[in-house]
Structure 1
Amino acid sequence: MKKVILSGIFTLCTLGIFAQTSTNNLPATAQEYIQQNFSSVDVKEVKENSKWQIWEDEKFEVILSNELELDFDENGNILEIESQNDVVIPIAALPSKIAAYVEENYADAQIIGWEKQKKEQEIELADGTELEFDGEGNFRKID
């Protein structure tokens, strides 16, 4: 029994050590998004969520060398950008309508998070302010 448990643990550790760093398994849309917005940053890890997790929208998770985490759906559309260590997200990586609003109203703000859900989007600023937008990128409120 000990051998079976130890073998399982070893297998899990081995899989973690050999994490994929190639973006080849990502849809072309996701590859283009990364190239356009994060070309100066290396891809550290690419994870593909299993198909049986149907309650999750995120199909692919990409971790960049600067510790930004990008989540994509099965078609390669960006769903979330999360900063692990308050790394600033480039404004060009955001939807254009939201980027324009932030530039106009929070010109000096540093964006450390963005998330798109079915009917809303949210921006997190480094000072803790959260801005809420509708699905089309129209400003709703400060959260």
Structure 2
Amino acid sequence: MKKVILSGFFAISSLGMFAQANTKNLPATAKDFIQQNFSSNTIQEVEENANWKIWEDEKYEVKLSNGVELDFDENGNIIEMESQNDTIIPLSALPANITSYLQENYPNIQVVGWEKQKKEQEVELADGIELEFDAEGNFRKID
């Protein structure tokens, strides 16, 4: 019986060791962004999407322990943040113009998603409202 219990313990312990993400190929810019904005979370998984043809901009997909998924381009610049379980995305992770707009117009709202495209940026709020901004972060419209 002791052998079964010890075997189970070692099996579970070894899973924890292998579950840690390999961040070796993740650019320093991406690592810095995660450290600055999500330092209380651990990186669960890093997927390098070198062969994806559908989303050419998304080079790295990072999953954090709080359920937030981050997508980075090949240089490590953030291009998308998405909460899988309505975890709040900190305003510090958003561009300054968008943060200012949200603080002024939605002071008590929570952000659960953000995406940057070539000519626009979109912010998803916890109440389901989607806001559209231009590439510089100037408000355009409610989507």
TM-score range, shorter chain: 0.7 to 0.9
Deviations 1:85-142 (A, max 9, x none): 0000000000111011101110000100000001000000010101000001000001
Quote the offset at 1:45 in angstroms: 0.5
TM-score normalised per structure 2: 0.83
| Within-5 A mapping of 1:1-143 | 21-51=21-51, 53=53, 55-143=55-143
Identity of aligned residues (%): 70
Secondary structure at the aligned position of 1:47 is classed as strand
TM-score normalised per structure 1: 0.83
Aligned CA-pair RMSD: 1.4
Secondary structure at the aligned position of 1:62 is classed as strand
Runs of 4+ in 1 over 3 A off after TM superposition: none
Work out whether residues 19 and 46 of structure 1, in 8 Å CA contact, stay in contact via their aligned partners in 2: no
**Unaligned segments of structure 2, at least 5 residues:** 1-17
Work out whether residues 66 and 87 of structure 2, in 8 Å CA contact, stay in contact via their aligned partners in 1: yes
Secondary structure at the aligned position of 2:108 is classed as coil
Quote the offset at 1:55 in angstroms: 4.4
The answer for the alignment partner of 2:10 in structure 1 is none
- Most deviating of 47-56 and 93-102: 47-56
Compare CA radii of gyration and give the structure with the larger one.
2
| Aligned amino acid, residue 117 of structure 1 | Q
Quote the offset at 1:19 in angstroms: 6.2
**Unaligned segments of structure 1, at least 5 residues:** 1-17
Q: How many residues are treated as equivalent by the alignment? A: 126
Secondary structure at the aligned position of 1:29 is classed as helix
Q: Distance in 2 between matches of 1:37 and 1:139?
A: 23
Shift in alpha-carbon separation, 1:43–1:55, aligned structure 2, 3 A: closer
Secondary structure at the aligned position of 2:26 is classed as coil
Work out whether residues 48 and 59 of structure 1, in 8 Å CA contact, stay in contact via their aligned partners in 2: yes
Q: Distance in 1 between matches of 2:101 and 2:136?
A: 12
Quote the offset at 1:25 in angstroms: 1.2
| Aligned amino acid, residue 69 of structure 1 | E
